[in-house]
Amino acid sequence: MPPSSADNQSVRSAHSPFPADFLWGVATAAYQVEGGWQADGKGLSVWDVYTNTDRMAAKGETANVALNMYDRGQYLQDIALLKDLGVNAYRFSLNWPRILPEGTGAPNVAGIAYYRQLIADLKTAGIAPLVTLYHWELPQALAERGGWANREIVGWFRHYAGVVFDALGRDVALFLALNEPSTDLSFAAYAKQFRETPRREWVPLTPLPPAAFTWFPGQRVVHHQQLAAAAAIEEFRKRNLPGRIAAVAMLLIPALPATDSAADAEAARLADGLMNRIYLDPMLKGSYPDDVVAALRGAGVELPVEPGDMEFISQNRADFLGVNFYSGFPFAADPAATDNWGLRMTWSPSPADPYNGPARPDLFTAGLLRLKADYANPPMIVTENGTGVPGDDELVGGHVHDAKRTDYLVSHVAALGEALREGANVEGYFHWSSHDNFEWVAGYGRRFGLIHVDFATQRRMPKHSAFIYRTLIANGGRVPA
């Protein structure tokens, strides 16, 4: 990208709420961008199987090649684009079965070498890596042993984390254990349902509701996720590493009452408990919320808490909280929804609506301030925020004028600035995503990138939003008039 006049001015207003050392980044995840699905001894992940065997993603697409970022020649070009964007940080994830092909046992030297080189190349470009250990690439070998439903996963994840910290721990300042654990459970539930559905071709148009809403027994698994994150943190501490670690990148979904009735207020509170507090309370307050425990019990689900577990989680606290924010949703009481906790999400999107919910920057500010008020203002990093809107990403005459993403970006950065002004302890913002990539069950059909990708040719083209992000970064979160 050529330098813009905004960069040349580069005048940071003294009144900007964003400190000079604020992390401005972009985020991706291994399965969505790497490709190289069988390269150099890599094992299979559940997503390799979901796409290749089950053909669960749209049109039978896979991420076998994806953005080809397993190829160093390719990713070096991508790092050059990130440098042009002006970001000082990049969030990506490690592909567990690339490092441990069977999920446990001896590491795959080539897999580790790939990540070591990527980290070195990012740092050479002046871009700090934020490394997610797990962005849903569960080794298939472990899925076949019960995956997250098996308490042994705490030990498996501990071993994996230890291998990673021994290999890369001294080179990375920011680690994160689990990405959106609630969505991971949603997809596991979706995959199960998909396999059992006679017409196996459905892709939901609405956002996937967290498993809390569709998969009662799945809720037990939350406890294993909590323990696994705590075990990773314990391994991290043992090694006296220089960096910091988060337990989760939490999908924060503000739950709003659909009407002002008392029943809907109650429904929204339960929805908040099942989506948000079930993760936040144990790691930040030391216990599961009573109303959620009671609701689970009412559905015949007991969290598998053993003596000492809650102390273990409390003793292994994270250094910061990752927050993924896209939108908030209204909830109504619905006594007929007996398989759905007696509540229902009432947003019914039209085909023109954003994929992950309506733009609600006000809820972004409110959500961060809620974390400040209810959870003693932990150090936070916004690990994802972004949007994809049908029709917004057309490549016309060599340009993509993604006006809706641009508006979303500007308004959400402003909303974050507002939260900072009101004292929220936020250290960074990572836009999802740097590039259009493989959007899980929706395949390549939903674009979230600042950089357009032609998936057939691997050609990259920064969109309008990319230029605006660079301007925001250079000007303390504002677009100069």
Closest CA to 225 of 213, 211, 209, 236: 211
Q: How far is the CB of 384 from ligand NOJ (least distance, A)?
A: 6
Task: Given the residues 34, 235, 384, 418, select the one marked as catalytic.
Answer: 384
Q: Which of residues 345-364 bind ligand NOJ (CB under 6 A)?
A: 356
Measured CA to CA, the distance from residue 18 to residue 426 in angstroms comes to 9
Nearer to ligand NOJ, 269 or 452 (CB): 452
Nearer to ligand NOJ, 108 or 132 (CB): 132
Q: How far is the CB of 222 from ligand NOJ (least distance, A)?
A: 17
Q: Which of residues 116-175 bind ligand NOJ (CB under 6 A)?
A: none
Q: Is 213 in the site for ligand NOJ (CB under 6 A)?
A: no
Cβ atoms 417, 479 nearer than 8 A: no
180 annotated active-site: yes
Q: What is the Rg, in whole angstroms, of the alpha carbon atoms belonging to the chain?
A: 21
Q: How far is the CB of 275 from ligand NOJ (least distance, A)?
A: 14
Q: Which of residues 307-326 bind ligand NOJ (CB under 6 A)?
A: 324
Q: Which of 70, 190, 448, 467 binds ligand NOJ (CB under 6 A)?
A: 448
Measured CA to CA, the distance from residue 190 to residue 208 in angstroms comes to 9
Helix H segments across 377-422? 403-421
Q: Is 29 in the site for ligand NOJ (CB under 6 A)?
A: yes
Q: How far is the CB of 290 from ligand NOJ (least distance, A)?
A: 29
Q: Three-state SS string across 146-211, please?
A: CHHHCCCHHHHHHHHHHHHHHHHHHHCCEEEEEECHHHHHHHHHHHHHHHHCCCCCCCCCCCCCCH
Q: Is 235 in the site for ligand NOJ (CB under 6 A)?
A: no
Q: How far is the CB of 43 from ligand NOJ (least distance, A)?
A: 21
Q: Is 61 in the site for ligand NOJ (CB under 6 A)?
A: no
Q: At what angle do helices 464-474 and 72-85 cross, to 10 degrees?
A: 60
Nearer to ligand NOJ, 6 or 138 (CB): 138
5: burial class by Cβ within 10 Å (0-12, 13-18, 19+)? exposed
Q: Is 180 in the site for ligand NOJ (CB under 6 A)?
A: yes
Q: Is 432 in the site for ligand NOJ (CB under 6 A)?
A: yes
Dump the DSSP string for 254-297: -EEESSSSHHHHHHHHHHHIIIIIHHHHHHHHSS--HHHHHHHH
Nearer to ligand NOJ, 17 or 207 (CB): 207
How far CA 116 is from CA of 34, 69, 90, 171, 412, in Å, comes to 15, 14, 15, 8, 33
Q: Is 439 in the site for ligand NOJ (CB under 6 A)?
A: yes
Q: Is 281 in the site for ligand NOJ (CB under 6 A)?
A: no
The H or E element spanning position 81 is: helix 72-85
Overall residue count recorded for the chain in this entry: 481
Q: Is 34 in the site for ligand NOJ (CB under 6 A)?
A: no
Cβ atoms 372, 425 nearer than 8 A: yes
Nearer to ligand NOJ, 288 or 448 (CB): 448
Q: Is 179 in the site for ligand NOJ (CB under 6 A)?
A: yes
Q: Is 384 in the site for ligand NOJ (CB under 6 A)?
A: yes
Measured CA to CA, the distance from residue 126 to residue 114 in angstroms comes to 19
Q: How far is the CB of 27 from ligand NOJ (least distance, A)?
A: 8
Nearer to ligand NOJ, 47 or 288 (CB): 47
Task: Given the residues 34, 61, 137, 180, select the one marked as catalytic.
Answer: 180
Nearer to ligand NOJ, 23 or 27 (CB): 27
Q: How far is the CB of 442 from ligand NOJ (least distance, A)?
A: 8
Question: Cis (ω within 30 of 0) for the bond into 13?
Answer: no
Closest CA to 27 of 470, 471, 435: 435
Catalytic residue ranges? 180, 384
Which residues of the chain form contacts with ligand NOJ (CB under 6 A)?
29, 179-180, 324, 356, 384, 432, 439, 448
